[in-house]
Structure 1
């Protein structure tokens, strides 16, 4: 593959990750309409949704690129999280990053890197 298609594959992986995020959040919103769900369950669902979306996006991108799985995984994860952060700020959330945010960032980066390593060996 030529260099330009590598970047395109990474961006495509991020977009596919966001599609998974939107689908899962829509399903969860429908469920929350009918069932009263506590904040702890919502938090766990958001973390799982984030992890699954990153995993899918990274695996897609790495399978298309075919090399440097961990590096592509970290890159796709960072791009996904950057876009998610910007959308969060635009929607009215605080721009401050708490210790909770740093922990989630580290978790997501680890998941992205590991997903890239696994995808390169599939």
Structure 2
């Protein structure tokens, strides 16, 4: 893979992480004023993760303009690893159950589909 392509993938992951931080900060502000249940919080975290992957993957695949599905899988996997590392550093435990596995599979599928979408979007 060319260095330019790797740079676009890194920029896509960086954009996805920044998008996640912004969305979670907005959710934290909402949570200070309104009591939100655990199910709603879990859904917000999942939606934020998936939207971040879509954003980063569409950006990168539009720039590279080929093999969007592969770019999407790479970005989804690397993004997921980064988020889990950040989660571990912040003090959360890494319990790996069926729900985590399903989230990872969903992230990969969404990354793959959004990569294909990004390649086919016109400027």
User: Is the TM value for this pair above 0.5?
Assistant: yes
- Give the aligned partner of residue 55 of structure 1: 54
Structure 1 residue 109 and structure 2 residue 108: aligned?
A: yes
Deviation at residue 29 of structure 1 after TM alignment: 0.4
* Structure 1 unpaired stretches of 5+: none
Deviation at residue 95 of structure 1 after TM alignment: 2.4
TM-score normalized by structure 1?
0.96
* Structure 2 unpaired stretches of 5+: none
Deviation at residue 91 of structure 1 after TM alignment: 1.2
Q: CA RMSD in A?
A: 1.0
Distance 1:119 1:63 in 2: 5
- Give the aligned partner of residue 32 of structure 1: 31
Distance 1:53 1:39 in 2: 21
Distance 2:5 2:31 in 1: 39
Equivalent residues, number = 121
TM-score normalized by structure 2?
0.95
Structure 1 residue 95 and structure 2 residue 61: aligned?
A: no
Q: Which consecutive aligned stretches of 4+ in structure 1 deviate over 4 angstroms post-superposition?
A: none
- Give the aligned partner of residue 121 of structure 1: 120
Distance 1:36 1:90 in 2: 26
